[in-house]
Structure 1
Amino acid sequence: MKQNFKFYSCCALLVAVILAGCGKTQKTEESTTETASKPKQPNVVLIYADDLGYGDVSAYGATKVSTPNIDKIANNGMRFTNAHATSATCTPSRYSMLTGRYAWRKRGTGVARGNAGLIIDTARTTLATVFKKADYATGVVGKWHLGLGPQEGPDWNGEITPGPKQLDFDYSFLIPATGDRVPCVYLENDRVVDLDPADPIQVSYKEKIGDEPTGKENPELLKMKPSHGHDMTIVNGISRIGYMTGGKAARWVDEDMADVITHKAKKFLTENKDNPFFLFFSTHDIHVPRVPHSRFAGKSGMGPRGDAILQLDWCVGEVMNTLEELGLSENTIVIFTSDNGPVVDDGYEDEAVEKLNGHTPAGPLRGGKYSAFDAGTRIPMLIQWPGTIQKGKVTDAMTSQIDFKASFASLLKVEVDAYDSENLLDALTGKTATGREYLIEHSGTLGIIKDGWKYIEPSKGPKVFAYVDIESGYTEEPQLYNLNEDMGEEKNLAAEHPEKLEELKTLLEEVKNQQDI
């Protein structure tokens, strides 16, 4: 009897173990299935061109220059016909895009000197913060132009902080300001690259320092002469804005700049391929000085400006090819856009005007960089997200780069202070053609667009910026345009539609007078 009891007990125990094992296996399989079915967060690559106009890309109708790699994003994603940077110059556009806050709300956000302190308050959240909160690796490569270091400016010979790291970028490789401003060195993670401690850097924007030659004093040393300004310290045969001495081993070679920053962008993608990442790839092209690599020099038939467009397109192609090679293309959102509208002669004699050859950098728009007219801020924008955004789609939804912050916060389900940023995720992914209710443009004055009508507030100043030959859009009289019928802003309808003028004027004043956010 006892033996039978032991036998039955062993059988019962065996059955229990088997059943428990089956249950555990079932749960493990369910858990694995659940994990496999949960979509991986999309990577995000934001490619930010510099001074690229609405008409500078063949996807937007350019016929004198071809941009096949940029066009490929349009073919595989969505092209925006009514997308805007917030400002007609680079520093405020970048400030607004990263902070989600209009730059004109804060003093000191105009075009930054090369030795300016960091202009973004480190207590504020940024676009990078959104991704950090969602456990993304974050990186910025290329042009920065938002100041670095304390308010009095950086010490270029040590750790340069605060900077991108304090704004939630894990990695940075920077052109500190612009190619035409000193110091002409790269920064990687808060330090100047290849700096010789025995040759410390000094920078001044007030007076000449040291005995290095300048464009003004030694024009015979220049390989590219300035057309206006840009006649201070000579680096690599090109005179710049500002004075610099020291740091000779660290100075960049302009012809290699696109290769250098593109290599760093690709390296960031490769090193972070196994984790969600956000890369802000801020190109220098097609900003002056336009000194493209020999692979592109002379290839466009439009002089250095056209060649720089070809080089920009190559940079885009290199990033896209890297995503493809790493198997990341299907789960990566790629945004291509520009910081403001176009300028042809912006300080150097590079034959950009003479060799336009019928090319229209602003396309059908009026004005350009610096201008209150639409070409100052309406820019090319393309977004690709395979499986979510329909291929070859075109949208006229009115969008602004300031909305990236709130939109990605919505996508990733994180909370950040949105300020002026609005959640336009559905418009940015093509789910709706409805964009912003109204949009504010900033140059030396403000304009507002609503329901296809645009109001530019009165302002004093030259009607044409003579140095760059661009209409300012400034008048002491109010301006009102119907953009649906007059995309080129040729006919001022202020006198004919006083009620619409008053409506937009009142709305603009309400936004301007909002409590500081």
Structure 2
Amino acid sequence: MRVLYCFKIIFFGIFCCMPFKAYTQSTNPNIVIIYVDDLGYGDIGVNGAIGVETPHIDTLAKNGLNFTDAHCSASTCTPSRYSLLTGSYAFRNNAEILEGDAPLIINPNMGTLPKMLQKAGYKTGVVGKWHLGLGKGKINWNEKIPLGPEEVGFDYSFLIPATGDRVPCVFLENQKVVGLDPNDPITVSYGTRIEGYPWGFQRPELLKQHTDPYHQGAIINGISRIGYMKGGKDALWVDENIPFVLTDKANAFINNNTNNPFFLYFALHDIHQPRIANIKFVESSTMGPRGDVIAQMDWCVGQITEALEKQGLLDNTLIIFTSDNGPILDDGYLDYARELVGDHKPGGGYRGSKYSAYEAGTRMPTVVHWPKEVKPGVSNALLSQVDLYASLASLVNQKVAKGDAVDSQNFLASWLGKSDKGRKFLLEESYTYGFRMDNWKYIKPKEAPVPNWIVQKFVDPGFRPEPQLFNLAEDPSESKNIASKYPKIVAKMEAELKEILEK
């Protein structure tokens, strides 16, 4: 009895001395999605990058699971972000690349990934690029914007409203412009030119980088943007400081939520154009600005993992590192990415790019890291980001309500490396549709000519008047269209694709 009594005292003492956060977070992990912009499959070291090092991402991959066939849902940013957060394909809402003053495209009444996690007891935050619209009509940038991340499930938000190449060039914290002087109100215009900041097509001598005809609006911080703007001088961002500002806000969210499970959607602006590296990272690669901002992005990843480790949270945090669409070298700003790419293959040897129906448009660098549950390795499972909603719902024991996440499927075991099972069919949205069935890749015919704005980006979007079929096991570069040899495979894939599109 005396021994048993002593054991109880010792056990009680140990239990009471346990940090509260370690106990409360023993069931559900923290979840961090690091969502990079325009990063190709081959743009990280573990996937063969040449000319730039990504040691922090490579460490995640070494200690986690590296996926070889995981996809975003679309080859452009707004559609992929929409699908990630809603579990629904973007075409169902006609979601396309938005202007900087577009209304919110996520219906506040629909289920979302952050809303589902809120129900499971998570604190939710988004830091970084939003580009899903704000408000419901003409935006008044001088007061709190009534519709945004808060209405779709985020407790905290710190945003780039659209992208770095669009006005307004200000941050929003909880849907209010940061640092705005009320005596210097902001006005934004797309289409109609307004007086305010000088225009790129009129004052090219003010530019740090020259641009194509589509990026010659307001000049802010020496960069010509899409759209026109006046006012808000004290609130303007400095491009070179964006990675530090966003990382500080992401780390603050982590540090403020150590006693409860949290979900952080960290949507980096890098490596989207304009690629303006901080002096800390200039010439950190052999590829000029594009390589330098890859190194800069990798540093941001390291800052997040370091913050988690300092708080003792890294072992029980599920980190999902991935990208919103494939790589692009020339996307509006003259930074010599095509000339300096050298032997580096941004798409990892796969054909295509951002805007394209070919594999590199949606096959993303994807790493899952959760030391408590995920064993290091490589997975070849065919997966889509649209499935993260249902998969994470399964992880935190939440049911997906009827009518929510209509395209999301539960592949939790595969995301955690406990199964090799992947999707039987996988949709790849672009300006047409790519469709996967195992190693078969089908591209839906499209009669329309290639728009001039795509031609200027040196992109092949995959538009062809005839069906395209490839066997990726034998032809990963999609160089030989074998549709005429396999009419039954084409017919089956066309039928399956039609069923999804008409669902």
**TM beyond 0.5:** yes
Structure 1's 207 and 279: CA in aligned 2 closer, same or farther, altered over 3 A? same
Is 1:366–1:374's contact at 8 Å kept on the other side of the alignment?
yes
Which whole-Å deviations, capped at 9, do the CAs of 1:42-96 have from their partners, x for residues lacking one? 0011000000001111111112211000101100100000000000000000000
Alignment of 1:84-233 (within 5 A): 84-107=71-94, 109-150=95-136, 152-233=137-218
**Separation in structure 2 between the aligned mates of residue 238 and residue 370 of structure 1, nearest angstrom:** 23
Q: Does 1:480 align with 2:469?
A: yes
Is 2:40–2:360's contact at 8 Å kept on the other side of the alignment?
yes
* Cα RMSD for the two superposed structures: 1.9
Residue of structure 2 equivalent to 1:300: 285
Is 2:50–2:343's contact at 8 Å kept on the other side of the alignment?
no
Is 2:158–2:173's contact at 8 Å kept on the other side of the alignment?
yes
2:368 counterpart SS class: strand
TM-superposed CA distance for 1:38, in Å, is: 9.0
Amino acid at match of 1:206: G
1:323 counterpart SS class: helix
Q: Of 425, 429, 438, which aligns to 2:412?
A: 425
**Separation in structure 1 between the aligned mates of residue 215 and residue 221 of structure 2, nearest angstrom:** 14
Alignment of 1:8-407 (within 5 A): 39-107=26-94, 109-150=95-136, 152-391=137-376, 393-407=377-391
TM-superposed CA distance for 1:37, in Å, is: 11
Which whole-Å deviations, capped at 9, do the CAs of 1:315-372 have from their partners, x for residues lacking one? 0000011111111011101110000000001111111111112211111110100001
**Separation in structure 1 between the aligned mates of residue 372 and residue 163 of structure 2, nearest angstrom:** 37
Which whole-Å deviations, capped at 9, do the CAs of 1:155-200 have from their partners, x for residues lacking one? 1011112100011100000000000000000000010000011111
Residue of structure 2 equivalent to 1:448: 435
Q: Does 1:470 align with 2:456?
A: no
Identify the range of structure 1 (168-177 vs 297-306) with the bigger mean alpha-carbon deviation.
Answer: 297-306
Which runs of 5 or more residues in structure 2 are unaligned? none
Is 2:24–2:259's contact at 8 Å kept on the other side of the alignment?
no
Question: Alignment identity in percent?
Answer: 50
**Separation in structure 2 between the aligned mates of residue 318 and residue 86 of structure 1, nearest angstrom:** 28
**Separation in structure 2 between the aligned mates of residue 228 and residue 296 of structure 1, nearest angstrom:** 29
1:410 counterpart SS class: helix
TM-superposed CA distance for 1:461, in Å, is: 3.5
Residue of structure 1 equivalent to 2:398: 414
Amino acid at match of 2:141: W
2:214 counterpart SS class: coil
TM-superposed CA distance for 1:223, in Å, is: 1.5
1:79 counterpart SS class: strand
**Separation in structure 1 between the aligned mates of residue 134 and residue 373 of structure 2, nearest angstrom:** 38
Is 1:463–1:473's contact at 8 Å kept on the other side of the alignment?
no
Amino acid at match of 2:302: G
Residue of structure 2 equivalent to 1:506: 495
Identify the range of structure 1 (239-248 vs 293-302) with the bigger mean alpha-carbon deviation.
Answer: 293-302
Is 2:221–2:239's contact at 8 Å kept on the other side of the alignment?
yes
Amino acid at match of 2:270: D
**Separation in structure 1 between the aligned mates of residue 393 and residue 342 of structure 2, nearest angstrom:** 44
- Count of aligned positions: 486
Which whole-Å deviations, capped at 9, do the CAs of 1:213-272 have from their partners, x for residues lacking one? 100011111121113420011000110000111111100000000000000000000010
**Separation in structure 2 between the aligned mates of residue 496 and residue 210 of structure 1, nearest angstrom:** 59
Amino acid at match of 2:373: T
Is 1:228–1:467's contact at 8 Å kept on the other side of the alignment?
no
Q: Of 481, 494, 499, which aligns to 1:492?
A: 481
1:174 counterpart SS class: strand
Please identify runs of 4+ aligned residues in structure 1 that moved more than 4 A: 35-38
**Separation in structure 2 between the aligned mates of residue 219 and residue 440 of structure 1, nearest angstrom:** 42
**Separation in structure 1 between the aligned mates of residue 307 and residue 449 of structure 2, nearest angstrom:** 46
**Separation in structure 1 between the aligned mates of residue 138 and residue 125 of structure 2, nearest angstrom:** 23
Is 2:198–2:218's contact at 8 Å kept on the other side of the alignment?
yes
Is 1:85–1:379's contact at 8 Å kept on the other side of the alignment?
yes
Amino acid at match of 2:320: I
**Separation in structure 1 between the aligned mates of residue 46 and residue 25 of structure 2, nearest angstrom:** 35
Structure 1's 56 and 228: CA in aligned 2 closer, same or farther, altered over 3 A? farther
Amino acid at match of 1:362: G
Is 1:154–1:161's contact at 8 Å kept on the other side of the alignment?
no
Structure 1's 453 and 135: CA in aligned 2 closer, same or farther, altered over 3 A? same
Q: TM-score normalised to the size of structure 2?
A: 0.94
Is 1:335–1:381's contact at 8 Å kept on the other side of the alignment?
yes
2:265 counterpart SS class: strand
**Separation in structure 2 between the aligned mates of residue 102 and residue 153 of structure 1, nearest angstrom:** 26
TM-superposed CA distance for 1:418, in Å, is: 2.8
Q: Rg bigger for which structure?
A: 1
**Separation in structure 2 between the aligned mates of residue 54 and residue 456 of structure 1, nearest angstrom:** 20
2:360 counterpart SS class: helix
**Separation in structure 1 between the aligned mates of residue 158 and residue 269 of structure 2, nearest angstrom:** 13
Amino acid at match of 1:414: Q
**Separation in structure 2 between the aligned mates of residue 161 and residue 362 of structure 1, nearest angstrom:** 39
TM-superposed CA distance for 1:106, in Å, is: 1.2
**Separation in structure 2 between the aligned mates of residue 125 and residue 153 of structure 1, nearest angstrom:** 25
TM-superposed CA distance for 1:462, in Å, is: 4.0
Is 2:196–2:231's contact at 8 Å kept on the other side of the alignment?
no
TM-superposed CA distance for 1:401, in Å, is: 0.5
